[in-house]
């Protein structure tokens, strides 16, 4: 294929797509970056319409699913049985085949945190929502957790003790059980206890997590860690951070680092201090609905921190942010609601307000709804602010995944044009007529009727007219 339409023509080329960057003015961006896009992902520099999601469980839970949980049981034959649990606003269910079976109703809210624990020879899932009693599930029966622990909404495990916080009566307090006994909450020197973290700044405990052998407590405006292995050694140390957390379920341990959402964006904790990482998506963070941001929920899966937040006027999580830990790139997904994430049988599942559990990144639609994807290249004058650029043809490499067509717009400040392109069934170099003119230009790549495709190395040829 001849890539040179005219020996006098110049070329605007994207060698590799690299994700969001709203930290800089568009004129300063790499051509492979974007200020505005949705439902495109990047793999090895190639633009790809995101996979969809499909129902994992066909049956529905009334009034939506607020939390997903997993119970693990080690069988005598060496296998592990996993059971999916879910909570609506007032009921906890277990999955039996493809049907949901109620195991507890009358709850005051359905937002739970949970951990799995082996108490003696019995595996249990311990769960709490911050208002009702703490519960335990042994695979058959849901009971109150023994020892009369205080209600806690955020819990973790550290050196065989259960730790928890987010108690409405004591909002600055962190509790811990006796070692090796999650049902001993006697507050004595050698059993359970609590640690108060007053900061006199109006902040409260938002959540906690066990990271790097320390218990990390996230408050509204600061972060603390408890160091030591037993009560006589415990010390509270403030972490060097300019902020605290806003949503307990955004706090996610990624092995070597942890992530959390604050009022001004996403932070990562490296074991010593926190670092702000969401400058590339600053406009999306600025558009987050802070009134409902405490509903935000995150997960770490496939080397990605995946965070669902409420954007704009939405009172529910309607925007999904993905941060790739390897490439440091952000992408944005919209078009579906997420209340909770869980990894189950190596699949990433999520729940929504319609009462369904769906598998993330599977299929060609958002559970039957066509995916709407678009990508804008940065606005640019190509370093020639006074010159008129007249585009002629665009070359790119295309490959069809699903659907029939895509659309490419040449958005120039004088004359814009668009082209409808038939998707090839195999990877093909395509030549697309695109005659536009102006001093400034950008491209818009979008799908049609939910089509899915890959696009690589677009090259736009143009002629120059000096003004």
pLDDT at 238: 95
pLDDT at 7: 59
Superfamily of domain 10-50+373-466: Galactose-binding domain-like (2.60.120.260)
Q: Are 128 and 163 in contact (CB under 8 A)?
A: no
Highest CATH level, class, for 53-360: mainly beta
pLDDT at 8: 66
pLDDT at 338: 98
Dihedral of CA atoms 230, 208, 220, 283 in degrees, nearest 10, equals: 140
The domain limits of the chain are 10-50+373-466, 53-360
Q: Are 193 and 185 in contact (CB under 8 A)?
A: no
Closest to 331 measured CA to CA, from 122, 21, 60, 53 = 21
139 to 144, 248, 342, 346: CA distances (angstroms): 14, 26, 18, 20
Closest to 458 measured CA to CA, from 34, 36, 26 = 34
pLDDT at 212: 83
Q: Which residue has the tokens 């909404």?
A: 153
Question: Sign (positive/negative) of CA torsion 277, 283, 332, 443?
Answer: negative
Q: In angstroms, rounded to a whole number, what is the distance separating the alpha carbons of residues 248 and 166?
A: 9
pLDDT at 392: 95
Domains 10-50+373-466 and 53-360 are alike in CATH topology:
no
pLDDT at 1: 40
Question: Sign (positive/negative) of CA torsion 299, 63, 318, 418?
Answer: positive
pLDDT at 450: 98
Tens digits of pLDDT across the chain (467 residues): 444 556 568 999 999 999 999 999 999 999 999 999 999 999 999 999 999 999 999 999 999 999 999 999 998 898 999 999 999 999 999 999 999 999 999 999 999 999 999 988 899 999 999 999 999 999 999 999 999 999 999 999 999 999 999 999 999 999 999 999 999 999 999 899 999 999 999 999 999 999 888 999 999 999 999 999 899 999 999 998 889 999 999 999 998 899 999 999 999 999 999 999 999 999 999 999 999 999 999 999 999 999 999 999 999 999 999 999 999 999 999 999 999 999 999 999 999 999 999 999 999 999 999 999 999 999 999 989 999 999 999 999 999 999 999 999 999 999 999 999 999 999 999 999 999 999 999 999 999 999 999 999 999 999 998 76
């Amino acid at each position: 294929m001849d890539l040179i339409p005219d020996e006098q023509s110049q070329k605007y080329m994207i060698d590799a797509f690299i994700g969001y960057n709203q930290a800089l003015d568009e004129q300063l961006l790499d051509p492979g970056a974007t200020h505005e896009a949705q439902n495109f992902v990047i793999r090895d520099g190639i633009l790809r319409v995101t996979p969809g999601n499909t129902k994992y469980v066909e049956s529905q839970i009334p009034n939506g699913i607020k939390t997903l949980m997993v119970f693990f049981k080690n069988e005598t034959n060496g296998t592990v049985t996993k059971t999916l649990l879910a909570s609506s606003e007032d009921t906890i269910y277990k999955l039996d085949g493809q049907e949901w079976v109620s195991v507890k109703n009358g709850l005051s809210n359905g937002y739970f945190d949970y951990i799995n624990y082996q108490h003696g020879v019995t595996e249990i899932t311990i769960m709490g929502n911050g208002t009702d009693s703490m519960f335990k599930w042994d695979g058959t029966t849901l009971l109150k957790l023994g020892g009369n622990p205080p209600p806690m909404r955020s819990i973790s495990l550290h050196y065989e003790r259960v730790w928890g916080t987010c108690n409405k009566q004591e909002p600055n307090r962190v509790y811990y059980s006796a070692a090796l006994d999650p049902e001993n909450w006697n507050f004595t020197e050698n059993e359970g206890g609590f640690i108060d973290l007053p900061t006199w700044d109006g902040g409260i405990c938002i959540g906690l997590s066990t990271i790097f052998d320390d218990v990390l407590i996230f408050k509204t405006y600061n972060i603390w860690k408890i160091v030591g292995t037993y009560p006589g050694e415990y010390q509270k140390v403030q972490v060097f951070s300019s902020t605290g957390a806003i949503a307990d379920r955004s706090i996610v341990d990624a092995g070597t680092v942890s992530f959390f959402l604050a009022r001004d964006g996403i932070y990562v904790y490296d074991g010593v201090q926190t670092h702000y990482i969401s400058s590339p998506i600053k406009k999306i963070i600025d558009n987050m609905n802070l009134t409902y941001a405490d509903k935000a929920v995150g997960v770490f899966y496939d080397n990605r921190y995946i965070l669902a937040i409420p954007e704009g006027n939405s009172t529910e999580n309607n925007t999904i942010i993905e941060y790739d830990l390897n490439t440091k790139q952000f992408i944005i997904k919209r078009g579906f609601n997420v209340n909770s994430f869980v990894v189950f049988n190596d699949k990433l599942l999520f729940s929504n307000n319609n009462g369904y559990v769906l598998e993330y990144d599977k299929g060609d639609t958002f559970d039957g709804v066509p995916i709407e994807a678009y990508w804008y290249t940065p606005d640019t004058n190509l370093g020639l602010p006074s010159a008129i650029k007249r585009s002629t043809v665009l070359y790119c490499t295309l490959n069809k995944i699903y659907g029939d067509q895509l659309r490419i717009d040449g958005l120039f400040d004088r004359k814009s044009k668009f082209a409808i392109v038939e998707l090839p069934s195999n990877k093909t170099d395509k030549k697309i007529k695109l005659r536009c003119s102006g001093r400034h230009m950008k491209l818009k790549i979008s799908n049609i009727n939910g089509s899915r495709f890959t696009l690589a190395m677009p090259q736009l040829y143009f002629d120059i007219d000096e003004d």
